[in-house]
Amino acid sequence: MPPILNAQGISKRFGAVPLFDDVSFTVQDGDRIGLIGPNGAGKSTLLKVLAEEEDPDAGEVSKRKRARIGYIRQESTFAAGLTVRDVLERALIAGNVAEAEREGKLRETSGRIGFPETTAEAATLSGGWRKRLAIAEAMVSGPDVLLLDEPTNHLDLAGIAWLEETLRAAPFACVMVSHDRYFLENVATEMVELNRVYAEGLLRVKGNYTRFLEGKEQYLDAQSKLQDALKNRVKIETDWLRRGPKARTTKSKARIDSANELIGQLKEVNQRTQTASAGIDFSATERQTKRLVEFDHVQCVLGDGPTARTIVEDLSFLITNGVRVGLVGPNGSGKTTILRLLREELQPTRGEIKKAAFLKTVYFSQTRELDEAVTLRRALAPDADSVVYQGRVVHVASYAAKFLFTSEQLNQPVERLSGGERARVLIAKLMLEPADLLLLDEPTNDLDIQTLEILEESLLEYTGALVLVTHDRFMLDRVSTVVLGLDGKGGAQRFGDYSQWEQWRGEKVEEAIAPSPGSAAGESTNGTGSNGTGKKKLSYLEAREYASIEQKVDDAEARLNAARDVLDNPSVATDADALTKALQEMEQAQEEADGLYQRWAELTEKAG
């Protein structure tokens, strides 16, 4: 069957610099492709080209006859006055879904997405629910391929888990631009990096994000060896050319041409493999005080009367020098409220927040507030052409280059910068302010993976205290030394890492839906469970695994039966190589099936 999407030799440029050049990209049935690359590589533009929202400057994009393409942009916006139902009904009509099927599809999709009420106005929804609605809008008409641009932006951790499960079970193919490494690890079956360091403009590797890193390392190792071999050959040919060979004979002329070709080839490889990275380095003050901030039985209530809502209830928590706090919880649970309390934008309703004297706090806002009318030069250095960085006067051009900005960009207005570039501007401004306490509210949005890794390294080396709000689970796991988990009802609890919090949250959900201890279903003679055997209930993660394991067993059985059919083929039995390969496949399939059956039995017994 032909590919759903087939882009061949496409190029796109804005101004003099090409985003990508002569790139080929195909999407087949069942593909779940993670698309990554540095900021400015053209990932979002490539999605627009595949979605037929933009034309390439060169090359062709074709799609399978009658194929449906769904496209989800980074920012999800809806016209004022439209309800959730209106949005979904319009998508069904645009997708030419039969009228008799529309109501059923609408109910099924809204239920799967989690909308309890379809009469809510779409434009007034929170960022996370608008994102869910945009995904539902694209899915409701049954696309053959879904293109998603940063789909985890604005989703809380529960929303990301939902999206992962939805895409893993989806019947359609998908291409996902994302910098969420755990999301790519859990969903992608193939990875593509769009980057000019590769000879073909991209690197495509079968497997998840971990497998991609292994494939990329192998590729770069091969490139390094090619570069070394070219250097040696060019040195030999250059030495020969310096001896002044006469281009009189055909043989001498051919060698001179070959030498010039080698020199050009080496120059091309060098240009491709030269990469730059942002130099992120937060500075702490020389403060010796150990106790920086202490929450003492803090309560925070927003609103008055019937609309009043308790965001934080009886919170006692100490932030000491060097601690890195990961602040987690569902959307609306109070993460930003705690940051506002720390910044003294809000005062506690009850209790006290004690701060060390002359505490210096630096805040990174998720709203990315920048004056779009000023140039990059003035955004970094408002009053001069230099900045003071770590006690030294540095020219603004040199400081901008540290964050991968060119001298040409210095005089461009901030409004022309991409989301990732704006994030780098804000980080650059923060780095000029030594701090005792860093407050980072969603700093990872729009940053490419390379910059994320550099940001993580900088935060690990930072000697002050840090409070980090992010939906990037990889960063939470790597950076946080303690996690403060909020339950959305005013409660909070301290954990050693993100995984502990996720398990605790799952157990809270189970407790909320479990029968009460006094009911007939919940009675227990020894307090160890309804059946008195002392078995543990499934944890949140185990419950998720249990819900999907039956399908995995069916898939493993199908693979095993297919391997048996191959072995039964007479032509395979008489071909030594084919027989060896078939036996290996049979052994692997049997091992996978046995392991899944064993795990299924364990979970079934525990669910008991």
Instruction: Report the CATH number of the 277-360+434-513 domain.
Output: 3.40.50.300
**What are 384-419's pLDDT values in tens digits?**
888 887 778 888 888 888 777 888 888 888 887 877
Task: Say which amino acid occupies 257.
Answer: D
Q: Under a CB-based contact definition with an 8 Å cutoff, are residues 474 and 468 in contact?
A: no
What is the C-alpha to C-alpha distance for residues 134 and 139, in angstroms, rounded to an integer?
9
- Of the given ranges (80-84, 238-242, 449-453), which has the lowest mean pLDDT? 238-242
The pair of three-digit structure tokens given for residue 228, joined into one six-digit string: 């070394």
Using DSSP, state whether 403 is helix, strand or coil: coil
The pair of three-digit structure tokens given for residue 605, joined into one six-digit string: 């017994």
pLDDT range class, residue 539, cuts 50, 70, 90: low
What mean pLDDT comes out for the span 81-90?
88
Where helices occur in 26-180 by DSSP H, the ranges are 43-50, 84-94, 99-113, 127-139, 157-169
**pLDDT given for residue 519 in this prediction:** 40
What is the C-alpha to C-alpha distance for residues 552 and 485, in angstroms, rounded to an integer?
32
What is the C-alpha to C-alpha distance for residues 342 and 360, in angstroms, rounded to an integer?
11
What is the C-alpha to C-alpha distance for residues 117 and 591, in angstroms, rounded to an integer?
46
Task: Return all residues near 280 (Cβ < 8 A) that are at least 6 apart.
Answer: 403, 427, 431, 451, 454, 455, 457, 458
What is the C-alpha to C-alpha distance for residues 168 and 61, in angstroms, rounded to an integer?
26
DSSP 435: B
Q: Which fold has domain 5-213?
A: Rossmann fold (3.40.50)
Domain 540-607 has CATH 3.40.50: no
Q: How far is CA 50 from CA 74, 247, 325, in A?
A: 15, 50, 41
529 exposure class (CB count in 10 Å sphere: 0-12, 13-18, 19+)? middle
**What are the φ/ψ torsions at residue 484 (nearest 5 degrees)?**
-105, 110
Q: Under a CB-based contact definition with an 8 Å cutoff, are residues 325 and 468 in contact?
A: yes
pTM above 0.75, yes or no: no
Strands 145-149 and 17-27: unpaired
| Same topology between domain 277-360+434-513 and domain 540-607 | no
Q: Under a CB-based contact definition with an 8 Å cutoff, are residues 26 and 3 in contact?
A: yes
Of 73, 152, 208, the residue nearest 475 (C-alpha) = 152
Q: Under a CB-based contact definition with an 8 Å cutoff, are residues 284 and 324 in contact?
A: no
Q: Under a CB-based contact definition with an 8 Å cutoff, are residues 550 and 600 in contact?
A: yes
**pLDDT given for residue 542 in this prediction:** 66
Q: Under a CB-based contact definition with an 8 Å cutoff, are residues 334 and 310 in contact?
A: no
Task: Say which amino acid occupies 523.
Answer: E
**pLDDT given for residue 141 in this prediction:** 80
What mean pLDDT comes out for the span 574-602?
74
DSSP output for 446-468: T--HHHHHHHHHHHHH--SEEEE
Strands 58-63 and 5-14: antiparallel
Of 123, 120, 124, 92, the residue nearest 105 (C-alpha) = 92
Strands 291-302 and 350-355: antiparallel
32 φ/ψ sector (left φ>0, alpha ψ -120 to 50, else beta): beta
**pLDDT given for residue 119 in this prediction:** 83
**pLDDT given for residue 233 in this prediction:** 66
Q: Across the chain, what does the average pLDDT equal?
A: 80
Task: Identify each DSSP E strand in 185-263 by its residue range.
Answer: 190-194, 202-206
What is the C-alpha to C-alpha distance for residues 133 and 128, in angstroms, rounded to an integer?
9
Using DSSP, state whether 25 is helix, strand or coil: strand
**What are 130-145's pLDDT values in tens digits?**
888 898 888 888 899 9
- Of the given ranges (346-355, 427-436, 462-471), which has the lowest mean pLDDT? 427-436
What is the C-alpha to C-alpha distance for residues 462 and 479, in angstroms, rounded to an integer?
11
- CB count within 10 Å of CB 595 equals 11
**pLDDT given for residue 6 in this prediction:** 94
**pLDDT given for residue 257 in this prediction:** 57
What is the C-alpha to C-alpha distance for residues 490 and 386, in angstroms, rounded to an integer?
46
Which residue's structure tokens are 């501007």? Answer: 425
Q: Under a CB-based contact definition with an 8 Å cutoff, are residues 106 and 88 in contact?
A: yes
pLDDT range class, residue 527, cuts 50, 70, 90: very low
pLDDT value at 26 more than 90: yes
**What are 328-377's pLDDT values in tens digits?**
887 778 888 899 999 988 899 999 999 998 899 888 877 667 777 888 88
What mean pLDDT comes out for the span 582-595?
77
Q: Report domain extents, the chain.
A: 5-213, 214-273, 277-360+434-513, 540-607
Task: Return all residues near 325 (Cβ < 8 A) that are at least 6 apart.
Answer: 319, 465, 466, 467, 468, 480, 481, 482, 483, 484
DSSP 148: E
Using DSSP, state whether 595 is helix, strand or coil: helix
